[in-house]
Amino acid sequence: MNWARRKNALQEEAPKALVAVWECESVDCLGWMRKKFSLNENPKCPLCETKMKSGERMLST
Ligand SMILES: [Zn+2]
């Protein structure tokens, strides 16, 4: 698949904070979820079922 690379659009209006997330380990997949919404210690990606790694993202809260 040929995913167009999107640059993160800077949205100045929304306040953002670093949020703990799970990120899909597959480089071809954009799957992620907020840790707050998952109680699973070893979650799988909802898109491709690859295991997920701990990470952080700047998200609007
Ligand atoms: Zn995935």
What is the CA angle 18-19-21, rounded to 5? 135
C-alpha of residue 10 to centroid of ligand 1, in Å: 24
Q: Does 26 reside within a domain? A: yes
Domain that holds residue 32: 16-60
Q: Does 9 reside within a domain? A: no
pLDDT grade, residue 29 (50/70/90)? very high
**Three-state DSSP class for residue 36:** helix
C-alpha of residue 11 to centroid of ligand 1, in Å: 25
- Judge whether 48 and 29 are in contact, CB under 8 Å: yes
Q: Does 56 reside within a domain? A: yes
Q: Does 6 reside within a domain? A: no
Q: Does 3 reside within a domain? A: no
Q: Does 23 reside within a domain? A: yes
Predicted pLDDT of residue 61: 76
Q: Does 8 reside within a domain? A: no
Nearest by Cα to 48 from 19, 27, 20: 27
Strand partners, 54: 22
User: What is the model's pTM?
Assistant: 0.70
Q: Which residues surround ligand 1, an ion (CB under 5 A)?
A: 24, 26, 29, 31, 45, 47-48, 50
Taking all residues of the chain, what is their mean pLDDT, rounded to a whole number?
A: 87
- Judge whether 60 and 16 are in contact, CB under 8 Å: yes
C-alpha of residue 53 to centroid of ligand 1, in Å: 11
Domain count of the fold of the chain: 1
